[in-house]
Structure 1
Amino acid sequence: MRDRGAEVWPGVILSLGIAVLATFVGHAIPVAGSALPAIVIGVIIGLVRRPGARLRPGVAYSSKFLLQFAVVLLGAQLSLGSILVVGAESLPVMLASLIVCLLGAWWIGRVLGVHRRLRTLIGVGTGVCGASAIAAVSPIIGALAGEVAYAISVIFLFNVLAVALFPLIGHALALDPHAFGLLAGTAVNDTSSVVAAASVFSTAALGFAVVVKLVRTLMIIPISIGLSVLEAKRSAGAGRLTVRRVVSFVPWFLAGFIVVALLNSIGAFPQSVHDPLVAASVFLIATALAAIGLSTDIGAMRDAGWRPLLLGAVLWVLVTATSLAVMIATGWVGL
């Protein structure tokens, strides 16, 4: 362990330093969060000077293990009570928009010629919860650093547009704060952007929007298990799926996410512990994304071209339109 620590600490220290800087940027510009600044700073440093042999082990460690550990800590944001109450109200809108988004990512992404891994990242980032969902599924599908960077950049662009446009849409449709909270929570990607959009619309919309968004995060679990099964079948060939085999596909960090969420539901974490856990998950995601930025292949992003951006735009519109359509059908929006 001592030898391993000596090998990885230089790259980990560099990634942590970038994450600290990105956190300051996120506090200064809340809508940006810390994830995008971390990956952008990492990319810029990597362009100036690629990590050498001394830094590479720690950068790789940060981009994989620290990312997975951050996903485990994300479970501290969820509680069983809020899941049951908010889930019952928002489930039809949430499931409809998620299904449309994932099917759209699969079909439209194929039509546009977007690589399977990249269209998966953009699909789950748009349909579930932005950078957190991308962080959760990227190790499962073996996504490249450039693909992760591109997907997060696409998600961020439409987060910014959502903060500007969603309050206007909400006022144009005369949505009450509760209804707008549901729309923002199901159709805006990252939590920071949900907070920003709801705050612009109405302070009363903020609480419900955030809880809907956190419940939406739970969709990471079935999606990750499904992707694990698909990746296993793709790499090892088709075989009979037993319960034991499916359980074996569940990544350790996803199991940890569920355990932490259950512990939080039964009140195992006092407030003095809960808040630091949530902050640590956000900071570790920034650290991991800084490492991904350091190892990003800009040439691969350039080769991907404009098609992934178009895919992100189409999926964003589809999710928003589907959420509104289901809200109208279920009486949340009166016309």
Structure 2
Amino acid sequence: MKSLFRYFLFALLIIVCLSGYISSPMALILGFLYTLIFNKPFEKHSAKSIQYLLKISVVGLGFGMFLMETLKTGKEGLTLTILSISTTLIIGYFLAKILKIDKKLGHLISSGTAICGGSAIAAISPVIKANPKIISLSLGVVFLLNSIGLFIFPAIGHYFNMTQHQFGLWAAVAIHDTSSVVGAALEYGSEALRIATIVKLARTLWIIPVSLISMVLFKNKEDKIKIPWFILFFIIAILLNTYLDLPTIFTQTITGISKRLLIVTLFLVGTTLSIQDMKQTGIKPFLLAIILWIVISVGSLLFILN
């Protein structure tokens, strides 16, 4: 009876995640709580499902992006974007070495901080063959700081009397995940929302070159470099959405389903994480993420204000 209830609850939580009524951090928490009570369920199957769902979700999100529009409008933030992404990845690489953090975990945390939080981690983790535990730890660390940013950034913006244009640019660069960028900018004003959304979408395109760089950095000596086909399909999806007159209902449906699949993926990722794993990991990944976040936030703030 207990086993039957365990399976029923697992299926029910999957349906809840598909419903679209819970956030990404909540899905991760639900998965973690489920494992806390029932131990790791379907561990081998979950690991394979995570990899496939991550790839499918990333490709689907491409149908919500317009290449030329995001590149043109995001041109203003191009210099800041290049500086912030390269600085974050370089500092993250050396800090991970200094703190003696797992190389893949450090790279995922750095990539999530540099580009767009969970989406970057989702895209890069299959490329570097990160295991579910590393994915869940990096997502957990990034999502925690991401949630904090949603609340504190508008207050900081008002304190420095930032214009909506300035705040929109800063939010797009310094807040990890697109959802929190939009949430913080929306609270600040409509112009801030417009700037933040466009710059963030343009910034998201950097998933592609960073994924290709990651593929080279984490290539096993005995293996040949394999083309990450899902990244190619991601590019094709963007191009199709940009140059074909696709029905709005089609693109909205595809991106909506992709976001819900990503929520399910995060739930599965949460089921792979345990308190024992967190104890073994220690505080170092959090320290890495906090330092990177402070560097990117303060550095971009000073750049924009001056």
Query: C-alpha displacement at 1:279, in angstroms?
Result: 1.0
Counterpart position of 1:236: 222
1:35 aligns with 2:24: yes
Query: C-alpha displacement at 1:58, in angstroms?
Result: 4.3
CA contact (8 A) 2:88 2:114 kept: yes
C-alpha distance in 2 between matches for 1:251 and 1:159: 27
Query: C-alpha displacement at 1:12, in angstroms?
Result: 9.5
Question: Do the aligned partners of residues 136 and 11 (structure 1) sit closer, same or farther apart at CA in structure 2, a change above 3 Å counting?
Answer: farther
Query: Which of 284, 296, 302 matches 1:319?
Result: 296
CA contact (8 A) 2:137 2:273 kept: no
CA contact (8 A) 1:15 1:291 kept: no
- Kindly provide the CA deviation profile for residues 96-122 of structure 1, in whole angstroms up to 9, marking residues without a partner as x: 111111011111121112111111111
**TM-score, normalised by the number of residues in structure 2:** 0.90
Counterpart position of 1:7: none
Counterpart position of 2:282: 305
Query: C-alpha displacement at 1:149, in angstroms?
Result: 1.7
Query: Which of 196, 211, 216 matches 1:209?
Result: 196
Specify the code of the residue in structure 1 equivalent to 2:203.
R
After superposition, the CA RMSD in angstroms is 2.3
1:129 aligns with 2:113: no
Counterpart position of 1:330: none
Specify the code of the residue in structure 2 equivalent to 1:47.
L
Where does structure 1 lack aligned partners over 5 or more consecutive residues?
1-9, 26-33, 238-244, 328-332
Specify the code of the residue in structure 2 equivalent to 1:174.
N
Query: C-alpha displacement at 1:123, in angstroms?
Result: 0.3
CA contact (8 A) 1:50 1:295 kept: no
Look up the SS of the partner of 1:174 in the other structure. coil
Query: Which of 213, 219, 236 matches 1:226?
Result: 213
- Kindly provide the CA deviation profile for residues 117-153 of structure 1, in whole angstroms up to 9, marking residues without a partner as x: 1111110111100011111111122222222222112
CA contact (8 A) 1:19 1:283 kept: yes
1:63 aligns with 2:55: no
- Kindly provide the CA deviation profile for residues 26-55 of structure 1, in whole angstroms up to 9, marking residues without a partner as x: xxxxxxxx2221122112212222355xx4
Counterpart position of 2:3: none
Look up the SS of the partner of 1:36 in the other structure. helix
Question: Do the aligned partners of residues 324 and 262 (structure 1) sit closer, same or farther apart at CA in structure 2, a change above 3 Å counting?
Answer: same
Look up the SS of the partner of 2:254 in the other structure. helix
Where does structure 2 lack aligned partners over 5 or more consecutive residues?
1-7
Query: Which of 12, 17, 22 matches 1:19?
Result: 17
Between stretches 169-178 and 185-194, larger displacement belongs to: 169-178
C-alpha distance in 2 between matches for 1:168 and 1:115: 35
Look up the SS of the partner of 1:129 in the other structure. coil
Question: Do the aligned partners of residues 15 and 253 (structure 1) sit closer, same or farther apart at CA in structure 2, a change above 3 Å counting?
Answer: farther
C-alpha distance in 1 between matches for 2:43 and 2:141: 27
